[in-house]
Chain A
C-alpha cells in the first residue's frame, strides 16, 4: 500500500473513530491555540499576557495582511524566548515565520516544539501544513497521522484531505472533506469555512465550479479576508474581473489584493500606469530589503500586468524554490511558457509528476504548448 493510499484509509478510520464533539470543543485553526492548549493559568501572569498579546497581533496580521503585526508579535516574544524556548513560544514564532514565508525557520521551531511536546496538536498541524507548502508530503503524512484526538475531527480531516489532494487523489480528498462536514454540522463556523475553502481549491484543480464552496466559506467566515482573496484570485484568473473586484475587501491593501486589482484593470483596459509603477517600486524595495514575502505576487504581477515573462519566470523559479503550492506550480508553468522556454519549469513539472499533483489549469497550459 502506498503512503497515499494509507493516508486515505487512515482518514476513514479517523472519521469513524472520532467521537462526536460539540462545536465549542473544536480546536481553532493554526495560530489561535486558546482551545488547543492547556490552560495558561499556571504560567507567570506577565508572560501569559505577552503571549496573548502576541496571539492577538498574529490574528490581526492574518486578518489585515499587514506584515507589521507579525513583526510586532515576534518582537514581543523574543525576550521570553531568550530565557526559555517553551513549546508554545516556538509555535508562535513558527507561525510568524510561516507568515513571513520563512518556511525552514518555521520548521526548525516546530521540530523543537514537537520534541518538547510531541502531542501538541497545534505544532503537529502547523508542521503538517508547512511541510505541504514546501512539498514534503511524506513528512506531512507523519504529522497528520500524529494529530491527537483533541485536535478534533475537522482539523484531522483538513490535514489528511489537503495532503491527499496534493498527492494524486484530489477527488477522494474532496470526499473526505465533504464527509467530515456532513458528520460535523455543529462544528465551529471558522473550521467549516476552512474546509469549504479547501474544497474550493480542490474544485479548481479538478475542473469543477468552486464558487458554491467559496460562497459558503464567505458566509461561515464572516467574509474573511483570506477567503475573499482566494475567491477573487480564482475569479480574475477566470476573466471575471468585475466579480473579482466585487469580492475583494475594498480596505485590503495587501500586495495580493493590489495585484488582483491590476490584473482586473488589465482585463478591462483600465490599468493606470502610475499604479503599476507604484507597485513595481514597492516590489523593488522589498527585494532590496531582502524580503521574500511577495515573490508569488511579484511574479504574477510581472506576468499578467507588466507582461514581462522573462523576469516573471525568474521570480517564479525563486518562488518555487521557497514554496510548492499548486498556485506556485501553475504560475511557474505559465511564466515559462510565456517566456518561450518550458524547460525553466522542469523542476516543478518533475515534482508534479513524482507526486501526481492534479491541476487541470496546468494541463491546459501544457496542452496548448504541445500544439505549438
Chain B
C-alpha cells in the first residue's frame, strides 16, 4: 500500500481538542467500497479512540487527543492500515493508496479518522476484501462494509470470526 498526498485534510474540523470518545456502542469501523468501470475507490473510517488504544496516539498521556498527536502518528496509522486491509483480484493483490486524512464526528461513536483509499488492480476488479484491523485489541470489533457495484449495493458486517468478504463482480472494468 502506498501513500499519496500530504497527511491531513480538513484540520479545521478538529482544530480544537478532541475528547476521547465515550461511545456507547461496540467498537465499530466503517468501510465503503465503490466498484465501477472507472476504477475502485473506498473510504475507511476508524474511531480515533480505538486507534489511540491500539497505537497509543495520546503522546502526552493527558487523555485527550489533539491534531499534532494524530498528525505525528500518521505514519504509524498508515502502516497499520496498510498491514490490516487488503483487496485482491484474480490477477493478484491490488495496490491501495491512502489519501488525506480527515476527522468526522459520529453521533454515537465520537470522532472518527476518515481515510480515503484508491485501489488499483491489474486488469481486473477486486473480488476479495480482507480486513484484519483492531481485532487483536478488541475481539468484538466490527466493520460495517458497504459495497456499491453498478446499480447494486450490499452491506455486510465483518467481525473477528469473519474477516474476508467476496466482492461482486458485475461492474465492468
Contact = CB atoms under 8 A, between A and B. Distances in A.
B136 interface: yes
A285 B49 CA distance: 20
Nearest to B108: A282
A67 B25 contact: yes
B138 A68 contact: yes
Contacts of B108: 253, 278, 282
B162 interface: no
A66 B24 contact: yes
A258 B26 contact: no
A67 B24 contact: yes
Given A278-B107, A282-B108, A289-B157, A68 B27 contact: yes
B23 A253 contact: yes
Interface string A249-276: 0011111001000000000000000000
B24 A258 contact: yes
A25 interface: no
Count chain B CB atoms within 10 A of each CB in A66, A78, A285 and give the residue with the most: A66
A72 B25 contact: no
Q: Is the interface of B mostly helix, strand, loop or mixed?
A: loop
Interface string A267-301: 00000000000100010011011010000000000
Contact of A282 (B21, B22, B25, B53): B25
Interface in A53-103: 64-68, 71-72, 74-75, 78
Contacts of A67: 24-26
B76 interface: no
Nearest to B141: A71
Contacts of A68: 23, 26-27, 49-50, 53, 138, 140
A282 B108 CA distance: 8
B91 interface: no
Nearest to B49: A68
Nearest to B47: A68
Contacts of B50: 68
A194 B50 CA distance: 31
A282 B109 CA distance: 11
Contacts of A258: 24
Contacts of A66: 21-24
Contact of A71 (B21, B49, B139): B139
Count chain B CB atoms within 10 A of each CB in A65, A253, A282, A291 and give the residue with the most: A253
Contacts of A285: 25
A288 B108 CA distance: 16
B79 interface: no
B136 A75 contact: yes
Contact of B138 (A72, A252, A254): A72
Contacts of B21: 66
Given A278-B107, A278-B108, A282-B108, A72 B53 contact: yes
A103 B22 CA distance: 24
Given A278-B107, A282-B108, A289-B157, A75 B139 contact: yes
A253 B50 CA distance: 17
Interface string B3-28: 00000000000000000011111110
Give 9 nearest A-B pairs by CB, closest first. A71-B140, A75-B139, A71-B138, A254-B24, A253-B22, A68-B27, A255-B24, A72-B138, A282-B108
Interface of A: 64-68, 71-72, 74-75, 78, 251-255, 258, 278, 282, 285-286, 288-289, 291
Interface of B: 21-27, 49-50, 53, 107-108, 136-142, 157
9 contacts: A68-B23, A68-B26, A68-B27, A68-B53, A71-B140, A71-B141, A75-B139, A253-B22, A289-B26
